[in-house]
A and B are shown apart, each in its own frame.
Chain A
Amino acid sequence: MKQSFVFSGSGGQGIMSAGITLAATAIEMGKHATYLPEYGPEQRGGSAKCTVVISEEPIVSPLPKYCDNLIVMNEQAYAKFAEDLKEGGVLLANSCRVKDAAIENARVISAPVDDLALELGSAKIANTVLMGILIGATGIVSREAFTDALEKKFRDKKPGVLEMNMAALDKGIEIGRKA
């Protein structure tokens, strides 16, 4: 089945990185995936959005108008993309920056992603908490495949970074499963 994901927020929140890691993980699992980034000229603070499509079949169009899963990291992203969520889709919102996320006929998951990341050691792992919630709530990729991807990504970083991300992932999965 084809599933589409829009990740949105501002530059520096790890939006693009989350999208790439999800798509790469799906491919490692033998699925097909496309990742399309869209951003302005700014490196930090500008609008950041990426679209990920995952399917068992080769992907024809990478440009869906409506998505099955919308992940918003801030208020501006929510305001801009809420109307692009399909009926019955999943909205995952960072409640630290999105107040009162509510879309009719959607499965709404709000979690204080920024606060959770800080509690676990760094604001930089907010996107991993977010991915954990998404994986826990939707099962789009397995925990094992995603941890393999995290290991590849962080194995050359300084000690502790990988472990912190693993903890963030598991915290997210725990929240996602209950949501």
Chain B
Amino acid sequence: MGDIKFMKGNEAIAEAAVRAGCRFFAGYPITPQNEIPEYLSWRLPEVGGAYVQGESEIASINMVYGAAAMGARAMTSSSGPGISLKAEGISYLAAAMLPALIVNISRGGPGLGSIQPAQSDYLQATKALGHGGFHAMVFAPNSAQEAADLVYTAWDYAERDRNPVLLLMDGCLGNIMEEVQLPPMREMKDEDLPEWSLTRRNGRDYQGNITPIYTEPILEGINTMAGEMYKAWEEDDVKVEEFMLDDAEYVIVAYGIASRVAKEAVLRLRAEGHKIGLLRPITLFPFPKKQIRDLDYNRVKGIIDIEMTIPAQMREDIELQVKDRCPVYEYGRSGGCLLDDEGVYEAIGEILAGGENNG
């Protein structure tokens, strides 16, 4: 067990990445994620890694492609506008079946939006991180600690699947400082390099090609394999926190920072006698479909989607599982205006008081 450190969420991500074996970062500055590249700019050289501030987002993501092809644990980080610029490269990573970690510390949108925090990139993260109909696994931590823990395992998934992984966290959690217990340093050895990688280290032979270009029947086969992989994620890799759901008549669904404000409201409303609970997706893709589909709708009177973005973006994914068996409500703040305890508590109170008429 390591020491407890008082760190920013962004710094926790950066240090956990180093300890997970990440040895290459390329990126371009953007608020509110700048502590990640700033930290890695001095930390990676300390462990023999390489840090590059690229001339652009597009250059950076393609450097990650190159490093990943050589078998390095590689990553980039940005915020919404920068992730949009990286979309092409992320799609190419998926096409070439390359593992990498992409971090999005999200802010208000669309367009330039706001440098202040928001959960405005759910749809981009889960539906279309780039062109061509691929998915990445999307992790959505709700604390600096959980961010560190998820980053630490991110390459295990990425290398297992030969597919990029996205960590999606809003700027509030990126900039918050709280206690973090860091995972131990992993020593990556040359023999840990993936078999398919192009490296010639340690006298390895030429391994073949990494390519994002395929003939039609092969591309169809690759698409089919990807589809099967996404189905397997749903079976094996969904992560979810279920809090006070056993007798809940109202279920809040919230992720990231919104889930912490929502949990505070659940505790307060429970103390007042309300039967309410929280279902928190930790993986946004694969989405916890089964957990929402299998709620007891003879008991559950309503689902409340709370997000720090307007309109709520997760709502359709929830509704697909609820299948009209109870009303779905939403509450949010947006544009860089933050959710707060009082606002969420009052909004839920109104929904509880209005019951099913308050759709």
User: Which of A's residues lie within 8 Å of B, judged by CB?
Assistant: 20, 23-24, 27, 32-38, 40-41, 59-66
Contact = CB atoms under 8 A, between A and B. Distances in A.
Contact of B260 (A27, A40, A41, A63): A63
A35 B172 CA distance: 10
Contacts of B341: 61, 63-65
Contact of A34 (B4, B178, B263, B338): B178
Contact of B257 (A27, A37, A38, A63): A63
A41 B112 CA distance: 14
Nearest to B265: A61
A66 B342 CA distance: 8
Contacts of A34: 176-178
Contact of B340 (A23, A41, A63): A63
Nearest to A66: B342
A59 B178 contact: yes
Nearest to A34: B178
A91 to B, nearest CB: 19
A33 B179 CA distance: 7
A27 to B, nearest CB: 5
A53 to B, nearest CB: 9
Nearest to B145: A58
Interface in B77-134: 115-116
Contacts, number: 58
Given A23-B6, A27-B6, A65-B343, A60 B264 contact: yes
B261 interface: yes
A85 to B, nearest CB: 13
Given A27-B4, A65-B340, A60 B267 contact: yes
Contacts of A40: 115
Interface in B114-161: 115-116
A36 B31 CA distance: 15
A65 B342 contact: yes
A23 B260 contact: no
A32 B340 contact: no
19 contacts: A27-B4, A27-B6, A27-B179, A32-B179, A33-B179, A35-B176, A36-B176, A36-B177, A60-B260, A60-B263, A61-B261, A61-B263, A61-B264, A62-B178, A63-B257, A63-B260, A63-B339, A63-B341, A65-B340
A87 to B, nearest CB: 13
CB-CB nearest 9 A-B residue pairs: A65-B342, A61-B264, A65-B340, A35-B177, A34-B178, A61-B261, A60-B264, A61-B260, A63-B340
Contacts of B172: 36, 62-63
Given A23-B6, A64-B341, A66-B342, A37 B260 contact: no
